[in-house]
Amino acid sequence: MSRHFTAGQNAPLTTRTVRFTATASVPLDVCAFVVDDRLRVASSDDAVFYNQPATTGVRIEGDAIVVEFDAVRPGARVLCAVGCERPVPVTTSLTDTAGSPIATFHVEPCAGTETALLCWEIYRRHDTCKVRALGQGYTGGLLEMFTAHGVDVDAPETAPASVGTAGPDSVVGLGALETLWRIFEDAARSAAACTAALEFARQRLDDELSAAVADPAGRTGPEAERSRHRAQRRHDELVDTAESRYRDDSAVLAAELLALDAGLPPALASWSSPAWAGAGTPSDGVRVGEVSAPDPGALRIPFALPAPLIRPLWVGGEPAELGPVVSSLVVRLLAARPGTLLHLVDPGRNLPELESLTAPRFAGPPVHDRAQVAARLRGLADAAELDALAQQVDEGTSTSPVLVVLAGFPDCYGHEDILQILRLTTRARDGRVSLVLAGDPEDDDDPALGILWDEAEHLPGEGLLSDPWTGGRWVFTPDRLPAEIDALRGALGGR
């Protein structure tokens, strides 16, 4: 019977030969790596892909990777992966030699930029063959994935990317978002390693205490007491080592984030960064909040999304309480693309600070009258479709990107308004129109609202989320506009 896995889950394999396949909406390249415990190949011969279709114990058959695990060298692990031309969800499967399903795993590219995905790890634990779902992605595609595991790749030379006017020590352009996600990944793996070590220490203590009392004749007396003390001491040493390593890792990452902040573009930097004092610098992402481990610790990691938005972003919560969160998001989206024009629809007047701060970027006056909402949305949808037609006739046609912010949603909007918003979402996919919706959905059966809800990406409120690499739990805190906003005007084109 097939079992559906989530990232980080593992289980014993009942067969020693498995077939790995994957499907998606675009063509995929399947590949595999035979690696050691550090997930590094012994040589480039340990990579299996279209130009090198086999190594000992692993081969490509058609569109599948076949792993004969008993033939793989002792102590090695096998990583099964895919590459694709653009970031898309991928459904992967493991079957036995007869084609009977064993396991499935649906992988979503993290941050919408990953074109290579590690899907499965097949490994030995004692005498048991096991499989683990991974889900780790690489924004640099197969090239980055191969080099990350020690495979020598002859990559074509490319000119370094240059975005904006930041100095040579700045982190801008395509590297900024990826850098923050890599730090999050490092933190996630460090936390997972600490959790695993603590669980091992607890299990070992339980086993040793159970062994100490297994013989009724030795359950009491000085020797039994010494056995219990030795077991407890070993447990405490393991715990101290794991927690010390975790604290050291966190301190290194915190120092890295502090040094990095001054070089990030405004959309990804902290509000205290000097980046906000200058002219806007383009960015491939926007900071939407911070994550921290639920355990005690001071490490707080920026949580960012790609920019421009290719799906509507729905920020949930009571409209009157969302002002600082929505305002922060809008300011960062405008900073990420300096030429973006803003359409603000705010029938409840919940975003007064945002209006004064972003006035230089308005494409038209904000909509405060509920009776004017329908006309503005219809006009925006019509303009977006005309722009799309112009692009089809002349690909050189250039118009400014647009950010549409809909506050008090959906309470202040009718069925026809939602239909116009759905028209706008078709232009969001090419990055020309970004949509931000703020508010909690009503309990109604409007099918259009349901479609929009499914189409949108949802910004998590304060609470727990899982990282995509280990499935570890993290506390998410949304970003909020600071109390002092005058210093932000330079990056938005104001005075």
Give DSSP secondary structure letters for 324-336.
HHHHHHHHHHHHH
Question: From the CA atom positions of the chain, what is the Rg in Å?
Answer: 26
Does residue 209 form part of some domain?
no
Taking the CA atoms of 106, 108, 109 and 115 in sequence, report the sign of the dihedral they define.
positive
CATH number at residue 290: 3.40.50.300
How high is the pLDDT of residue 156? 39
More confident residue, 463 or 282: 282
Query: Is the model's pLDDT at 416 over the cut of 70?
Result: yes
Lowest mean pLDDT among 125-129, 272-276, 397-401, 417-421: 397-401
Name the burial class of residue 135, with classes exposed (0-12), middle (13-18) and buried (19+) by CB atoms within 10 angstroms of its CB. buried
**Contact residues for 151 (Cβ-Cβ < 8 A; gap 6+):** 33, 41, 44, 46, 47
Does residue 124 form part of some domain?
yes
Does residue 352 form part of some domain?
yes
Strand-strand pairing, 402-406 and 341-345? parallel
Query: Is the model's pLDDT at 426 over the cut of 90?
Result: no
Amino acid at site 375? A
Residue 377, SS3 per DSSP: helix
Beta bridge partners of 18: 67
Lowest mean pLDDT among 83-97, 201-215, 317-331: 201-215
Residue 460, SS3 per DSSP: coil
Q: What's the CA gap between 137 and 115, in Å, rounded?
A: 7
How high is the pLDDT of residue 297? 63
Question: pLDDT digit string (tens) for 7-45?
Answer: 778 889 989 999 999 999 888 999 999 998 778 898 989
Question: Cα–chain-centroid distance for residue 5?
Answer: 18
How high is the pLDDT of residue 218? 61
Percent of the chain with pLDDT over 70: 88
Which band of pLDDT confidence, cut at 50, 70 and 90, is reported for residue 404?
very high
Residues 291 and 432 in one domain: yes
Q: Residues 440, 432: contact at Cβ < 8 Å?
A: no
Tokens, residue 236: 């405490």
Residues 452 and 314 in one domain: yes
How high is the pLDDT of residue 219? 67
Q: Which domain holds residue 90?
A: 3-158
More confident residue, 490 or 340: 340
How high is the pLDDT of residue 69? 92
How high is the pLDDT of residue 188? 87
More confident residue, 165 or 295: 295
In this structure, the chain runs to a length of: 495
Give the residue from 132, 158, 184 where a domain finishes.
158
Does residue 205 form part of some domain?
no
Q: What is the mean pLDDT of the chain?
A: 84
* Residue in 98, 103, 144, 97 with CA at minimum distance from that of residue 120: 103
How high is the pLDDT of residue 173? 36
How high is the pLDDT of residue 172? 38
Q: What's the CA gap between 187 and 258, in Å, rounded?
A: 15
Tokens, residue 145: 């994935």
Give the residue from 126, 158, 190 where a domain finishes.
158
How high is the pLDDT of residue 112? 63
How high is the pLDDT of residue 367? 95
Tokens, residue 60: 């490509």
Domain total of the chain = 2
Does residue 279 form part of some domain?
no
Which band of pLDDT confidence, cut at 50, 70 and 90, is reported for residue 164?
very low
* Residue in 245, 238, 435, 257 with CA at minimum distance from that of residue 333: 435
Does residue 64 form part of some domain?
yes
How high is the pLDDT of residue 425? 87
DSSP conformation letters of 251-302? HHHHHHHHHHHTTS-TTTS-TTSGGGGSS---BSEEEEEEEE-SSS---EEE
CATH number at residue 21: 2.60.60.30
Average pLDDT estimate for 122-143:
85
Percent of the chain with pLDDT over 90: 35
Average pLDDT estimate for 44-56:
92
How high is the pLDDT of residue 308? 85
Query: Is the model's pLDDT at 217 over the cut of 70?
Result: no
Q: How many C-beta atoms surround the C-beta of residue 495 within 10 A?
A: 6
How high is the pLDDT of residue 119? 93
Beta bridge partners of 28: 84
More confident residue, 271 or 429: 271
Which band of pLDDT confidence, cut at 50, 70 and 90, is reported for residue 350?
confident
Buried b (16+ CB within 10 A) or exposed e, 146-162: bebbbbeeeeeeeeeee
Does a cis peptide bond (omega within 30 degrees of 0) precede residue 308?
yes
Query: Is the model's pLDDT at 296 over the cut of 70?
Result: no
Does residue 274 form part of some domain?
no
Query: Is the model's pLDDT at 165 over the cut of 60?
Result: no
Does residue 177 form part of some domain?
no
Q: What's the CA gap between 470 and 6, in Å, rounded?
A: 9
DSSP conformation letters of 73-131? PTT-EEEEEEEESS---EEEEEE-TT--EEEEEEEPPGGG---EEEEEEEEEETTEEEE
Q: How many C-beta atoms surround the C-beta of residue 440 within 10 A?
A: 16
Q: What's the CA gap between 427 and 388, in Å, rounded?
A: 8
Give the residue from 141, 158, 175 where a domain finishes.
158
* Residue in 249, 264, 342 with CA at minimum distance from that of residue 297: 249
Q: What's the CA gap between 204 and 239, in Å, rounded?
A: 11
Q: How many C-beta atoms surround the C-beta of residue 50 within 10 A?
A: 10
Residue 402, SS3 per DSSP: strand
